[in-house]
Structure 1
Amino acid sequence: MRIVIAGGTGFIGKTLTDLLISEGHEVIILTRKNETKIKGVTYVPWLKEGTVPEKKLENIDAFINLAGVSINNGRWSKEHQEQIYNSRMEATDELLRIISVLPQKPSTFINASAIGIYPVSLDAEYTEKTKVTPNDFLGRTVYDWENRAKQVEKYGVRCVFMRFGVVLGSEGALSLMALPYRMFAGGTVGTGKQWVSWVHVLDVARAIAFSLRRGKLSGPVNVTAPTPLRMKDFGNTIATILKRPHWLPVPAIALKLVLGQKSKLVLEGQKVLPKVLIEEGFEFTYPSLDLALKDLFRKS
């Protein structure tokens, strides 16, 4: 397959690109920068003045949209929130424009999404069939992003929303979560009762590749491991794998002072299950947190 990736040089994008190349696909990455060349990857400039990416995109089978300012970087100031929201809408609008002018349309459009679309809860259990009514910044952003991407269906293109959980890998949240334990200062964050619906980055890439092959699959797909954990249990597992104590609590007020609104990412959560992936026969390489952490800490 000839696959175009927007956001292909990011945390998830790099793992996905490596996987797709290993499977024999041809990968085209849309980029605003001069990237280090990788065998099997073609780079096409976009979102810069004077660029016309569609002229270099012929006979494309699928588009994968991972583009957008990271929610993990910096405080959630009003300006940063605007960047998070606008970057996703801008990239998606440009992909829709590109597809609209291509004489041969792709068969599939896979759009990144997030479990933040579900309300935070200590008790609810969410699947793809759950009706969502976003009530905070992240929920509204994801809701609008999915609705914008869904417009691709008017061109006869299958659309899949990959609702990522807390993605664990060499980048992102895990290094920050593990740091206190490495310094023998780890402990329960907030109440410890909040849910962490996590997933190994390799399983994220595998789930995307799996969705490419499932021609009848469309709509939302929860990309989370089948074993979400409460934050206290999540921390205890980190401590066990690293052979460190789990003893020093991190009060919610301290995180709110340091992180502002972004503290919601660790102080609040939701229990999200990957019902669609399981029903479709997807098998997780890392279904349990201890397996995932053993792999990731071995590499760090």
Structure 2
Amino acid sequence: MPKRIVITGATGMIGTRVTKELIDRGDEVIIFSRSPQRAKNVIKGAKEYVLWTQNAKREMIWEDSLEGVDAVIHLSGENVMSKRWNDEHKQNILNSRIDTTKALVDALAEVKKKPEVFICASAIGYYGSSEEKEFDEYSEAGNDFLAGVVKQWEEEARRVGEYSIRYIGIRTGIVLDKNEGALARMLTPFKFLIGGPLGNGKQWFPWIHINDVVGIYLHALDNPKVNGVLNAAAPEFITMKKFCETLGSIMHRPSFFRVPAFVLRILFGEGADILVKGAKVFPKKTIDSGYEFEYESIEPALRNLLKNI
């Protein structure tokens, strides 16, 4: 039976794919967007395009659209790597997640017919970084800035449980898509024979194919027994060096032109830690919940993404 679903962040890399999948399978999708017209241009076929901003709650512009929906999927948030980190950008990273999530949860508390499930984006940044430790959904939070952001973000989202709404948090790794994100940005230097690892290349690279990210969201949406956090990271552990070697091999390009950590710190400040540090993140609960990965290993994943390039 088709579902009625509200989604935020629908024009982002993950949001676009998830939204189109929902529309294609016949669900009734309501897009909450800061720019409804842009959302309409990017994604055709949604039931409604509703103006939604961090301050919109005060004017009650969008609250009525939550009444009687089956699910809410919350994907919006400031791109952490959109600019060099300073105090202002770090505050935006935090506020864009906490404030919007709080506004949604507060609004859901007021609707008469509440959704069955609230699915909120999250990040493997929750675990911090480590060269030795292996993390799964039962591991404790790290102690760096991003870990603190994700912990607060999830705590805010979990409040839906007070209203008998099922909560799912999707802790997402490095999403591989040929059009956007990390892989797309790395393709150009490889094409020009200057590709290679960021930093020393020894850091763990917790990747996931875009198809599996979408698959995990749909799995969480459609299975009432799934709850709590799920790791959206492939079960294969690889380093940044291994990723670049595999990418170079498939593209028939060298992969030894390393970008030193100090250059990344000049460009991104403290945010460079995301690029030069990593973590071994295993999707234990995701697999235990019954999700079957389409791409468990990096080589077939990259071959699929690069087959028409």
Report the TM-score, using the length of structure 1 for normalisation. Answer: 0.95
Out of 114, 134, 146, which is 1:138 matched to?
146
Choose the corresponding residue for 2:40, options 31, 36, 43.
36
Q: Which residue of the other structure, out of 53, 63, 69, is the alignment partner of 1:60?
A: 69
The CA deviation at 1:71 is 1.1
Consecutive unaligned residues in structure 2, runs of 5 or more: none
Counterpart CA distance in 2 for 1:104 and 1:234 is: 47
**Alpha-carbon shift at residue 299 of structure 1 (Å):** 4.7
- Runs of 4+ deviating beyond 4 Å: none
The equivalent of 1:79 in structure 2 is 88
Check whether the contact 1:53–1:98 (CA below 8 A) recurs between aligned residues: no
Partner Cα distance (1:245, 1:172) in 2: 21
For the 8 Å contact 1:126–1:271, the answer to whether it is kept is yes
Looking at structure 2, the residues matched to 55 and 259 of structure 1 have their Cα atoms a distance apart, in angstroms, of 40
| Matched AA of 2:169 | F
The 1-side partners of 2:71 and 2:285 are apart by 20
1:162 correspondence with 2:170: yes
Which residue does 2:5 correspond to in 1? Answer: 3
> Are residues 1:177 and 2:186 paired?
yes
Secondary structure at the counterpart of residue 193 of structure 1? coil
Instruction: Give the conservation status (yes or no) of the 8 Å contact 1:19–1:206.
Output: no
Gaps of 5+ in 1: none
For residues 264 and 67 of structure 2, the distance between their equivalents in structure 1, rounded to whole angstroms, comes to: 48
1:40 Cα offset (Å): 3.6
Rounded to whole Å, the distance in 2 between the matches of 1:131 and 1:247 is 35
Instruction: Report the Cα offset of residue 67 of structure 1.
Output: 1.0
Alpha-carbon distance between aligned partners in 2 of 1:280 and 1:14, rounded to the nearest angstrom: 25
1:227–1:111 CA distance, 2 compared to 1 (3 A): same
Kindly indicate whether the alpha-carbon contact (under 8 Å) linking 1:15 and 1:205 is maintained by their aligned counterparts in 2. Answer: yes
Q: Could you tell me the TM-score, scaled by structure 2's length?
A: 0.92
Q: Is this contact kept in 2: 1:65–1:112, CA < 8 A?
A: yes
Q: Does structure 2 retain, via aligned residues, the 8 Å contact 1:4–1:30?
A: yes
Structure-1 residue corresponding to 2:303: 294
Output the CA distance in 2 between the equivalents of 1:252 and 1:25.
45
Instruction: Please state whether the residue corresponding to 2:216 is helix, strand or coil.
Output: helix
Report the equivalent of 1:195: 204
Given that 1:109 and 1:159 are in contact with CA atoms closer than 8 Å, whether structure 2 keeps it comes out as yes
CA distance in 2, matches of 1:130, 1:270: 12
Q: What is the SS of the residue equivalent to 1:240?
A: helix
What is the distance in 2 between the residues matched to 1:152 and 1:58?
15
Return the letter of the residue paired with 1:152: V
Distance 1:247 1:7 in 2: 36
Q: In structure 2, how many angstroms separate the alpha carbons of the residues matched to 1:224 and 1:150? A: 21
Structure 1 residue 51 displacement after superposition: 4.7
Deviations 1:199-251 (A, max 9, x none): 11121111001011221221110001111311110110110111101222222
Identity of aligned residues (%): 39
Superposition CA RMSD, Å:
1.5
Q: What is the number of residues matched between the two proteins? A: 299
Contact in 1 for aligned 2:194/2:254 (Cα 8 Å): yes
Tell whether 2:110 aligns with 1:110.
no
